[in-house]
Structure 1
């Protein structure tokens, strides 16, 4: 296929296709999904490995590798520090990479692949739970702070990962697991400045 034909197939312009091939830009999940539906082995395009070779699997919140040919779901991975949009729509951001996970294993973790995104952790505020440079899978369908847990939040237009605890009077306490950082109290009248974007479910990072 020509670059123009492949661009049309992926739903992008010819210049975007050229930039993908030059490694000047990274394709997003919609482009890769369109190519995958057309029969392109997008796993091979991204990793150099065929889909019947090794791929990532999940178990007890950790990442391992297995072989097989079961259905894989693409998960778009975003770097929240590099974000430039309005904070609410991750789809407007550049996808840093795309990882593929077995659909059945995501479902076994209670996750709908269509609602899962990967977020790169930045900074040391969540040390002890999440380290700088880790990836975390976020369930965007889970936005209720009860039960309490670790969430991707939009706070005053800035994306943050914090532990959320509800306190008396309807306020929220935003907690950094690193004790060097102070807790932040969000009063009920200030809730308009805070939005839960999803619950952090699975950490992917180095063992140290």
Structure 2
């Protein structure tokens, strides 16, 4: 299966659910579900998070790689709307998965507050083992929704990106979640002579922004952007 749409349909069939049933479990209408499976629309994080709760392998749908939790015996899927968690054999569906809080960078952009003070838009679950293999501590990872086109070519409007909050050193250079004058932004950070930083938008339509050493008090690195989750073009 090569596309998100195809893998989503495969997972629905594995769970032995109709399009109507899966749509209800994900909080969408049947027409939306059909569009997801046709590839006309991409499922959003709230939908995928809801389906993780009934045993859908979100990791597989997004990446094509099976989660370590899945495929270990026959799935026991609860009825849609049931109160008990889905299990895989004798294991809870969440065993081996790490919950990652997902925030909207536009909604969570106020006055330098920590992300923990902001409203979590949704929660996605990722295999702990795979996060660790990427050098990521699941406890330090958050998801951020990209807003705007300033990082086009690297990150598109509406993409999600996993941010490692434990990595706040601009060496080596990379793409970071920043707090600039109380506003959260995602930019490429480059160190320049004299201790200044250059904030770069990968979209060439946007000018580079020089942060002088004396202005560093107004800029804070919140974490390094590590993994993009977005539409396959």
**TM band (smaller chain):** 0.7 to 0.9
1:55 to 55, 58, 71: 58
Does structure 1 retain, via aligned residues, the 8 Å contact 2:101–2:122? yes
Could you say what the CA RMSD is over the residues aligned between the two structures, in angstroms?
A: 2.2
Compute the displacement of 1:80 (Å): 1.0
**Length-normalised TM-score, structure 1:** 0.72
Is residue 204 of structure 1 aligned with residue 208 of structure 2? no
Does structure 1 retain, via aligned residues, the 8 Å contact 2:96–2:128? yes
Unaligned runs of 5+ in 1: 1-22, 24-43
Q: CA separation in 1, counterparts of 2:152 and 2:52? A: 33
Structure with bigger gyration radius: 2
More strand by share: 1
Segment of structure 1 superposing worse, 90-99 or 161-170: 90-99
Compute the displacement of 1:87 (Å): 2.7
Structure 1 residue matching 2:106: 3-state secondary structure: helix
Q: CA separation in 1, counterparts of 2:120 and 2:49? A: 15
Cα 1:54–1:146 shift into 2, 3 Å: same
Does structure 1 retain, via aligned residues, the 8 Å contact 2:162–2:225? yes
Q: CA separation in 2, counterparts of 1:76 and 1:64? A: 22
Unaligned runs of 5+ in 2: 1-26, 28-47, 70-94
Q: CA separation in 2, counterparts of 1:146 and 1:152? A: 14
Give the number of equivalent residue pairs: 162
Q: CA separation in 1, counterparts of 2:223 and 2:52? A: 32
Output one character per residue of 1:144-191: Cα deviation in whole Å (capped at 9) or x when no partner.
000000000000000000000000000000000000000000000000
1:186 paired residue number: 211
